[in-house]
Structure 1
Amino acid sequence: MGVGNKELLILGLMCMLGNCFSKCGKGFITNEGRDCVDVDECNEDPEQCGKGAKCYNTNGTYYCVCLPGFRNIAGTINFTVTTGQCRDINECTAEGGRCGRAGHCSNLIGSYNCTCQSGYFSPNGTEKCREINRCEESKINICGENGTCQNDELSYWCKCQQGYSNYGNKRTPCSELKCDGFSADSGPTQSPRGLANILSMMRNSCLALSSPSAAGGEKFDGETLLEKLFTATEAVLSPGRPDTAEDVSLLLGTVENSIMFIGPQLKGNHTKIQTNETDAQIAVRRGSTRPTGAIHLTNENATLETDWETASGTGTYPGFAMAALLTYKNLKISGNRSFEELKGREKDGVDPSFQIFSRVVSVVVSNPSTQNLSRSVNITLRHLKDAEESPEERYICAYWTERETWSTDGCYQHHSNATHTVCTCEHLSSFAVLMALYPIEEPFGLLLVNNIALIISIVCLLLSILTFMFCRSIKGTRTTIHLHLCICLFLADLIFLAGISQTEPVNGCRFVAAMLHYLFLGVFTWMLLEGVQLYRMVVLVFNATIRPLYLFLAGYGMPLLIVIISAIIRPKGYGTDKFCWLSLEDGLIWSFVGPVCFIIVINVFFFIITVWKLAHKFTSLNPELSKLNKIKAFTVTAIAQMCILGLMWVFGTLLFQEGTVHTRTVSAYIFTILNSLQGALIFILHCLLSKQVREEYAHFLSCICTTHKKRYSDLTSTNPSSTQSQGSRSGQQTSESQI
């Protein structure tokens, strides 16, 4: 009771001092008029809600709301200092991709900032980066004169006029499509078989790219079109084609233009394609900026060393650059006319002959000014065969011109070894390494031996011809064969001595080559007839005569037929730059070597049978032993004759082929010696060693040496024993001549 009174007393004192029990509630205050007034907590304490929040006063209280870039840790939107707190939001992680793919996001307290890549911008620093409107901001038409710049929400693209294209790269300038360059009407009327298919395919693809609605246009992707190109090229490069300089130029130009057209359509940066006839590598770079750096393209037969500045050029950059290396594995560009521009390289007053010593290689780049490059390019070409450069040989770097000839202007040899030649060129085209062959003057000794040997052979053959024509005691089929064999060999040696090196005029040289071809084939044909005759003499028991008509048809007709067919098939194969003989390049030499090998094989067969038959007859008691001995002698002489002539042409083949100086010199000496032995051997074996012929010679000489009176007295002599002896000898000779 007492305690309660004390508390009431204290309470009363407090009320008297401070007006304790006010009639205003929490968040209000009494003003001077004793009215309740709201307290503005936000105004009294600006940090009431803390950093990152905004304070809102209400009647009797307040609440806090987080500013953008902040978030209440309690998760509610409205809060007080006792129920929440604002914390910074990392927009770069919380909301990925806020600046877009072309921007970089940087977090700030309560905000963030977008940093854009080159060519992009963010309007206020917090929006997604988008591409600059180049259609409006660029001072030049970035799509080219024949393209229209089109803007979309984030970028731009180029719309090309008909006849122009950016090859699917929509943000690159429009380039002209030269579809008319793939027209068959632009080339020779007689083009290589299959090339028309390439031109048609490329033209249709070009028209389809130029205008998708073009009639007949069939559109392929770059890789498919490239594969179709080289499949069709392989058909054009089949053996024996192209066979003219015009066809070669058309093929090279068509393939180069096709690669220029296909290159920008390839998806990959490096493409390689290989067929049986070609080997190609193509490098492509795309982008708004011109590429830089080195280019290295290589295959089994060639290597290209250059850079992207050279490949793209210094003019307007179309958004892509390309470099291609193409090797033709079996393309042959030959003919004297193709080397006309290389004349004037005399050495000791003598012009060299030329031959292609590497694969033909084409280099294609997107630079439109390939005839005036800012830097030289290096092209390494592998030789067709390993060979050390000798005094009579020189390696030359050459390119194929529009004039359909080889030229060296702006292209020179940088380095050569046994296997490769490095060519440095100031322009681009189709290249090859040529070998200049300087003829070596024949030694005086060889010329002397050659002339003496041929003269000896000609004299011996002439004596043999006269003997076979006028010696009555040896008349018969075998003598007829020997006579015409000697006639063919005599004429061949005369023409060989006078015209083998007379290469001018060309038609005269071809006539000499054709006559030598015919006459030497005739020699071997008559040798074959001799083998047949020996075979018949043994097998048919000596009844072996052959009608002269059949001999002439075979001995002269067969060689004539071979020469006519050869001249029709390969008329330009008769005569070379060095000799008036058959060319070794186009296979015409086999029209001589083939029949010769066949005749030798057949003769060997006949001789083996003949020797076997003779051996069998000698073992028996044969009354015709003397005749067998004669046939044996005939066979031995025929075999010796065939061996001499066969060996002569083994070395003759080496003489007319390209080889080392030592090999050709040795072959020339042996060929010359054997050639002289051929005529001398016929005269010795068939004339001097024949008893009948020697008696005829003795009788002829005695007639010359005896005076007219002596001869008259001998003729009027009536000695019966002499007459009987002469008659007996004449009968014996007549019986022997029948063999």
Structure 2
Amino acid sequence: MLRRSVSTCRLGYITDGRGDGNCQDENECEEHQIRCGNHTRCFNTVGSYYCQCLPGFRGPENFTVINGRCEDINECMNNSDMCGAKAYCTNLIGNYSCTCRAGYINLSGIRADCTDIDECKEDKTQKENICGMNGTCENLDGSYKCKCPSGYTTYDNKKTKCSELSCDHFKSNSESAQSLAGLADILSLMRTSCVALSNPDSAGEGKANGEMLLEKLFTATEDLLSPGRLSSSDDVSGLLVVVEDAMRFIGPQLKDNNTRMETSETEVELAVRRGATPPTGPIHLTNENASLDTDWTTATGNGTYPGFALAALVSYKNLEKSVNRSFEQLKGYKKYGVDPTFQVFSKVVSAVVSNPSTQHLNQHVNLTFRHLKMEERSSVSFICAYWQAGPGGQDEGGVWSTDGCYNHSSNATHTVCRCEHLSSFAVLMALYPIKHPFGLLLVTKIGLIISLLCLVLCILTFKFCRSIQGTRTTIHLHLCVCLFVADLLFLTAISRTKPEAGCRVVAGSLHFLFLGVFSWMLLEGVQLYRMVVLVFNATIRPLYLFAVGYGTPLVIVAISAISRPNGYGTDEHCWLSLEHGLIWSFFGPVCIIIIFNVFFFIITVWKLAQKFSSLNPDLSKLHKIKAFTVTAIAQMCVLGLMWVSGAFLFQEGTTAAAYIFTILNSLQGALVFIMHCLLSKQVRDEYANFLSCICAQPKRKYSEFSSTNPSSSRSQGTRSGHHTGESQI
């Protein structure tokens, strides 16, 4: 390329470089890409140039970069017959290509030169792979079809192998068909269509498409599924087996890959895949009541692939009422020492696949069931079960069984079942009635009776014993009153669930009283803390005590009763329902009170330990430990920390925890009496004086009354000095 220089040459010319001022033609095509752009050819002329588009591109006939560019020509769009009818055209940049359609091949290498592939012109082994051992291959232009002998079919897809089609399982003279009116008509319909499909000589007589057969099948089952029709397990097995066989027969005849149909009694969804190679990927079928999750490998199985694969989910809307029986096979579900009663707790569904061997699947399938309406129950378990027909099939009844099927996960509304085989399934609910062991009931009654007697003594003591009157005594008195009434109601009315209104009143009263017990326990903790830490001015006004002790429980019960009025009283006991979280209106405040009292307990014991060390420097180590232990036990008893043992009752098999919880709480009144009455020297002195007054003879009484012993007077004066003080810790 010549170096440009400043010259007076016209456009299209340059100086010759010798400095004599002569001009010569410039070859613009040396800068082809700049002058013309892509996909072009450049032509140099004297003093100028022009560009032309390459074949496959279009633009102005002769142009420069100023007045034109080249664009690709879409040959496939401009000429639909570019590749002919046996191939399809693919546009390329500046060109196009032809690809032969299925059933054709290009042997010459010339575009659009596609010839038919003779699929049948193969050796015997290959022929068998195309149409099967019993099929005959017939070559067509660009394809082929398989002709099947009698008893074999390729359904509506003539390019699949001939598979044997047995119509023997559609026997209208079976025992179940004879006993259940209407089932024989379904079997006759299926058998007629099956025979017509497997007979190559039939000219359409008796044949029907898949959609029509599916509609006829579920229309015919409407009357059979009406309430009261399926009166025996034989009838149930007969219907379920026939529907499952019909799904395997009808599915491959459906035109669409996915079909859904719903009637007043059934809902079905089918997925079908066709082709020379087995399909892969997940399968998800769902309806309002259940869903099926598996994959196409499981649906096809490990056997010979017949050219199609099927998966179906049939849901029966009211069949659970007819199969709420036959639980004889369910063993090993005893819990809490009692045998449960069973109840079908979901809609019954049938899972069907084209795999002929579904008894032992290589990979489990997941079925998710929506529960029926939940009723108030004491203890339940959800069990995944399937309907197991008798050894003779549909003519020998059936029972619910759990073999190869287990509960993967459950919540209040759904259960996920994992099964190693396919059949008709449902979720069963095992109901465990509360049947407490006789020993536990006996311990409860004896403990409550002892507790009531002790609480009566506590109430009389706290009310009339003048030497211990004060804030702590007031707290103890009302705690004992609440606990006495609560234990009395618990002993006499906790299980009287009728009438319902009375049961609700008992449940609400127990809710209020037990919350009252804990409220007074909280006040006990606060008072102990104030007495040990503040020392002086530890008295709490009675108005504040009553506001917390009775007002707080009243507010909680009122809010709970307004928001959940039906939550008071259950089928088993007059207590709070476990549904909708109402029980936390009791457990919530209890947990909070226990947490606060634990704090007060720790601080109080710590302060007491310091006082033992400072006030009794000569006290032996043994006496320190003894005093510390007695105080700690009394504190724990009063603050109700024993209720923590009740947390273990939420686990199964906790018989020991049940006994511990029952003994501690039923004897709480006795423990209060021991800790605050019998272990108090002041109270014991009052008891001794009271007993001496009762047991002493009249002469003894007179002498004591007229005695002027100074020591006696001092003693009385000393005792009277404690009438208004707080009881010793």
* TM-score (norm. length: structure 2): 0.48
* TM-score (norm. length: structure 1): 0.48
The structure, 1 or 2, with the larger RCO (C-alpha pairs under 8 Å, 6+ apart) is 2
Rg larger for: 1
